[in-house]
Amino acid sequence: MITPAGTQMRYTDNHGHYICTFFSDGRYRFVAVSQNETMADSREGRWAYKVTDPARAELRLDGDSVIRLEFSAPLEASGTIDDDVRIYQFRFTRTLPE
């Protein structure tokens, strides 16, 4: 993937599921939904994206939190989030234009 602009990234863990929408102007919106389907967290900020290898990239949220991605398909990746040893499965979907 060249850039996450215009996509939503989804992933889950044992606490809930998470959706991050990336806008073309560099903003993102993060929503966490708990296992009982209530909204647990929501925030907005700025994102940056850097391709580090043909199948790898780093996604930085608000300049500090880094998600390291390894792509297995154009819109599917596994990876880690800073300060978390778990490996997540990330799925990207294209969104409609703003």
- Is 32:40 a contact under the CB 8 Å cutoff? yes
Q: What is this structure's pTM?
A: 0.89
- % of the chain surpassing 70 pLDDT: 97
CATH hierarchy code of domain 7-94: 2.40.128.20
Query: What's the confidence (pLDDT) of residue 97?
Result: 62
Q: Take residue 93 and report the two structure tokens written for it.
A: 């979907």
pLDDT tens track for 60-74:
999 788 999 999 999
- CA gap 39, 51 in Å, rounded: 32
